[in-house]
Amino acid sequence: MLSYALRRIVVFVPTLFITLTLIFVLTRMLPGSPVASLLGGQSVNAAKIEEVSRQFGFDRPILEQYLEWLPRILSGSLGQSLFFTKPVTEVLIQRLPVTLSLTVLALMVTIAVGIPLGILSAVKRGSFLDYLGNVLSSLGMALPPFWLGFVLILLVAVGLKLLPSSGYRPLEMGFWPWLSRMILPTIALSLSQIGLIVRMTRSTMLEVLDTEYVGMARAKGMPETVVIVRHALRNAMVQIITAVGLLFALGLGGSVIIEQVFALPGLGELITTAAIRRDYATLEGGILYLTLMALLVNLLVDLAYAYFNPRVRLA
């Protein structure tokens, strides 16, 4: 198991290298220069722009910049934010809990609602419940999360005045102040994910319930709950977990929009504004953090894979 985990981690090295290169290239491909945007409102002349460019090294050839940039990033130094005038790492650490709260909560809700609903739909296939699950999941997948966010704000926050409409309170300020501001964004983000996981779980379970070994478990006189959980679900888990891992990565992307809708000061919001301001260092750092989170979840998925599938573990 340990050697399997190590092998999975080694595989991440090229992935990380490619991701970093993409981050560098894509940020440099943005139209407009950071210097112009930094000097914005001021009346500037060409000499001033050139001076600032030289100061930050933007005038040097792109390859040279990259070769200087890559080792620096790898050593963990993300540089200085052009706008916050403090280290990028510091800015990111501040924003990280917001995005983590949103994505992890959404994932928890997705798992807690989606997987049981998918199992029930499969076990009681053709029933009213199956039909209801199907309608709900189609609806969830069809509605864009940002639109859902606005509707939730209108209905729950503005109309019923049950929950705050936006903003963020850190967990240190109390559980309820934190949670009350996370509920609506979490629902907005998780609803589309639930639809996907319900379908995935349902179809995988249907497949597994048809296998010989599930038939054998019934023939052995196992109670139906044991047949479904121990014999069917355990084998379906491999595929369900793969889907959950993908959803988390999608959720990170979705959080960028949801954070805008609910005015949550998270990584997504930071990345958007950094992109607009051509704040290269912050942009790169933010994307790097999101990428690392996605890679970490991928690793967890791979490990869970091995747990549920002995053929992977012992290979």
Q: For residue 76, which phi and psi values (nearest 5 degrees)?
A: 95, 0
What span, in angstroms and rounded, lies between the C-alpha atoms of 256 and 185?
11
* Beta bridge pairs of residue 80: 87
Query: Among residues 161 and 311, whose Cβ is nearest to another protein?
Result: 311
Number of residues near another protein (by CB under 8 A):
22
Q: Give the whole-angstrom CA distance, residue 269 versus residue 308.
A: 37
Residue range at the interface with another protein (CB under 8 A); choices 22-30, 79-87, 217-225, 265-273:
217-225
- Based on CB atoms, which residue is closest to another protein, 179 or 206? 206
Whole-angstrom distance, CA of residue 211 vs CA of residue 223: 17
72 binds another protein (CB under 8 A): no
In whole angstroms, how close is the CB of 296 to another protein at the nearest point?
25
Q: How far apart are CA 174 and CA 156, in angstroms?
A: 22
Q: At a CB cut-off of 8 Å and minimum separation 6, what does 153 contact?
A: 165, 166, 184, 261, 262
Q: How far is the CB of 230 from another protein (least distance, A)?
A: 7
Quick one: the chain helix, strand, coil %, rounded to 5?
A: 80, 0, 20
Q: Is 128 in the site for another protein (CB under 8 A)?
A: no
Burial class (CB in 10 A: 0-12, 13-18, 19+), 122: buried
CB 170 within 8 A of CB 97: yes
For 79, 278, 281, 291, the CA distances from 72, given in Å and listed in that order, are 8, 20, 12, 17
For residue 87, the cross-strand partners are 80
- Binding residue for another protein, selected from 11, 226, 295, 303, defined by CB under 8 A: 226
State which of residues 116, 167, 170, 223 lies at the interface with another protein (CB under 8 A): 223
As measured in angstroms, the least distance from the Cβ of 229 to another protein is 12
Indicate the residue type of 130. Answer: D
Please tell me whether residue 203 binds another protein under the rule CB under 8 A: no
Among 138, 220, 253, 296, binds another protein (CB under 8 A): 220
Q: Which is nearer to another protein, 147 or 213 (CB)?
A: 213
**Residue where the block lists tokens 């409409």:** 165
Query: Could you say whether residue 311 binds another protein (CB under 8 A)?
Result: yes
Q: Does 124 bind another protein (CB under 8 A)?
A: no
Is 304 among the residues that bind another protein (CB under 8 A)? no
Stretch that binds another protein, among 9-17, 37-45, 177-185, 219-227 (CB under 8 A): 219-227
Tokens of 120: 């029930």
Residues 77-96 that bind another protein (CB under 8 A): none
| 282, 91 Cβ separation under 8 angstroms | yes
Min separation Cβ 1 and another protein, Å: 14
Interface segment toward another protein; rule CB under 8 A; list 8-16, 24-32, 176-184, 216-224: 216-224
227-256: which residues touch another protein (CB under 8 A)? 230-231, 234-235
Query: Is residue 225 a contact point for another protein (CB under 8 A)?
Result: no
Q: Are residues 30 and 275 in contact, defined by beta-carbon separation less than 8 angstroms?
A: yes
Task: Name which of 14 and 221 has its Cβ closer to another protein.
Answer: 221
When asked if residue 172 is in the footprint of another protein (CB under 8 A), the reply is no
User: Phi/psi at 295 (nearest 5 deg)?
Assistant: -65, -40
Q: Is 127 an interacting residue with respect to another protein (CB under 8 A)?
A: no
Which stretches of the chain bind another protein, using CB under 8 A? 211-213, 215-223, 226, 230-231, 234-235, 308-311, 314
